[in-house]
Chain A
Amino acid sequence: MRLNPLTVKKIQRFRSIKRGYYSLLLVIGLLVFAAIAELFINNRALIVSYEGSWRFPTYGAMIPGTEFGLDYSHETNYRELREIFREEGAGNWVIMPIVPWSPVENAFRGESMIPRPPDFARRHFLGTDRENRDILSRLVYGFRNAMIFAFGFMFFVYLIGTTLGCLMGYFGGTFDLIVQRFIEIWSNVPFLYVVIIVASVVTPTLGILLAITVLFAWTGMTYYMRTNTLKEKARDYTAAAQVLGASTPRIIFLHILPNTIATLVTFMPFTMASAITAITALDFLGFGLPRPTPSWGEMLQQGTQTMVIAPWIVTSAFSAIVIVLILITFVGEAVREAFDPKKFTVYE
Chain B
Amino acid sequence: MVSPAPTTANGHPPASKPLLEIRGLKMHFPVKGGVLMRAQKQCKAVDGVDLHVNEGETLGLVGESGCGKSTLGKCVVRLNKITGGQVTFDGTDITQLGRSALKPYRKDIQMIFQDPAESLNPRHTIGNLLAEPFIIHGLLSAKERDIKVAELLEKVGLQASAADRFPFEFSGGQRQRIGIARAIALNPRLIVCDEPVSALDVSVQSQILNLLVDLQREMRLSYIFIAHNLAVVKHISDRIAVMYLGKIVELAPADELFANPLHAYTKALISAIPEPVPGGGRAQRILLQGDVPSPIDPPEGCAFAYRSWLPTSDDQKRQPGTFREVTPGHWVELHPGTVEDYEKYL
Give me the interface of A with B, judged by CB distance under 8 Å: 2, 4-6, 177, 235-237, 239-247, 250, 254-255, 258-259, 261, 346-348
Apart from A2-B164, A4-B123, what are 4 other A-B pairs with CB-CB below 8 Å? A239-B74, A240-B113, A247-B99, A259-B121
B70 to chain A: closest CB distance in Å? 11
Given the complex, which residues of A lie within 8 Å of B137, measured CB to CB?
245
A346 and B168 contact, Cβ closer than 8 Å, known pairs A245-B103, A245-B136? yes
A237 touches B121 (CB 8 A): yes
Question: Of the candidates A235, A240, A254, A346, which one forms a contact with B111 in the assembled complex, judged by CB atoms under 8 Å apart?
Answer: A240
Known: A5-B169, A346-B168, A347-B117. Is A243-B123 also a contact (CB below 8 A)?
A: no
- Please state if B121 and A243 are interface contacts (CB–CB under 8 Å): no
Q: Does B77 contact A (CB under 8 A)?
A: yes
**Interface range, B side:** 35 or more
Give the residues from 150 to 167 in chain B that come closer than 8 angstroms, CB to CB, to chain A.
Answer: 164, 166-167
The answer to whether B132 touches A235, judged by C-beta atoms less than 8 angstroms apart, is: no
B123→A258 contact, CB < 8 A: yes
Known: A236-B118, A240-B111. A2 touches B136 (CB 8 A): no
CB of B125 closer than 8 Å to a CB of A: yes
Contact B136 A244 (CB under 8 A): yes
Determine the residue in chain B with the shortest Cβ distance to A232.
Answer: B121
With most chain B CB atoms within 10 A of its CB, the pick from A5, A6, A235, A245 is A245
Q: Give the total number of A-B pairs whose CB atoms are below 8 A apart.
A: 76
Inter-subunit contact B77/A237 (CB<8 Å): no
Cα separation A268 to B118 with both chains bound (whole Å): 28
Residues of B within 8 A of A247 (CB): 99, 136
Q: Give B107's nearest chain A residue, CB to CB.
A: A245
**In the complex, chain B residues whose CB is within 8 Å of the CB of A255:** 121, 123
* Complex partner residue of B132 from A5, A241, A261, CB under 8 angstroms: A241
Contacts of B335 in A (CB 8 A): none
Report B-chain residues with C-beta under 8 Å of the C-beta of A246.
Answer: 132, 136
Residues of B within 8 A of A346 (CB): 117, 122, 167-168
User: Which residue on chain B has the smallest CB distance to residue A242?
Assistant: B79
A244-B99 Cα distance, complex, nearest whole Å: 12
The list of the 8 closest CB pairs from A to B, nearest first, reads: A245-B106, A236-B119, A258-B123, A346-B122, A236-B118, A237-B121, A236-B113, A243-B111
Chain A nearest Cβ from B172, distance in angstroms: 8
Most buried by A among B107, B137, B168: B168
Q: Which chain B residues (69-102) contact chain A, with CB distance < 8 Å?
A: 74, 77-79, 99, 102
Residue of A237, A242, A243, A255 with most partner-chain B CB within 10 A:
A243
Residues of B near A239 (CB, < 8 A) are: 74, 79, 111, 113, 119
A179 to chain B, nearest CB (A): 14
Distance between B161 CB and nearest chain A CB, rounded to angstroms: 12
Cβ–Cβ contact A237 & B119, under 8 A: yes
Residues on the A chain within 8 Å of B107, using CB: 245
Residues of chain A lying within 8 A (CB to CB) of residue B99: 247
Using CB atoms, name the residue of chain B closest to A261. Answer: B123
Most chain B CB within a 10 A radius of its CB, from A236, A240, A259, A261:
A240
Q: Contact at B106–A240, with CB atoms within 8 Å?
A: no
Does B4 sit within 8 A of A, measured CB to CB? no
- Chain B: minimal CB distance from A229 (Å): 14
- Whether the Cβ atoms of B79 and A2 lie closer than 8 Å is no
Give 6 CB contacts A-B under 8 Å.
A5-B166, A6-B166, A235-B118, A239-B119, A244-B110, A259-B123
In whole angstroms, how far apart are the Cα atoms of A6 and B123 in the complex? 9
Contact of A245 among B102, B113, B114, B168 (CB under 8 A): B102
Residues of B within 8 A of A240 (CB): 111, 113, 119-120, 179, 182
A245 to B103, CA, bound (A): 6
Instruction: A2 to B179: give the CA distance in the assembly, Å.
Output: 21
Q: Which of B106, B114, B167 contacts A243 (CB 8 A)?
A: B106
A348→B133 contact, CB < 8 A:
no
Whether, in the assembled complex, B115 has its beta carbon less than 8 Å from a beta carbon of chain A, the answer is yes
Q: Is B37 an interface residue (CB 8 A)?
A: yes
Complex: how many Å from CA A236 to CA B179? 11
Question: Contact: B111 with A237, CB < 8 Å?
Answer: no
Mark contacts of B215-256 with chain A using CB atoms, 8 A cut-off: 1 yes-contact digit, 0 otherwise: 000000000000000000000000000000000000000000
Tell me, in angstroms, the Cα distance from A250 to B138 when the chains sit together: 14
**Minimum Cβ distance to chain B for residue A41 (Å):** 44
Cα–Cα distance between A6 and B114 once the two chains are bound (Å): 24
On chain B, the residues within 8 Å of A348 by CB distance are 117, 168
Nearest Cβ on chain A to B33's Cβ, whole angstroms: 13
Task: Report how far A61 CA is from B168 CA in the complex, Å.
Answer: 57
* Contacts A240-B111, A243-B79, A246-B136; A259 near B122 (Cβ below 8 A): yes
Contact among A5, A6, A237, A243 with B120 in the assembled complex (CB-CB below 8 Å): A237
- Does the CB pair B77–A243 fall under 8 Å? yes
B168-180 contact mask (Cβ, 8 Å, vs A): 1 or 0: 1100000000010
Q: State whether A244 touches B133 (Cβ < 8 A).
A: yes
Q: Are A244 and B132 in contact (CB under 8 A)?
A: yes
Residues B118 and A237 in contact, CB atoms below 8 Å apart: yes
Distance between Cα atoms of A236 and B125 in the complex (Å): 17
Chain A nearest CB, measured from B185 CB (Å): 8
Closest to B105 in A: A245
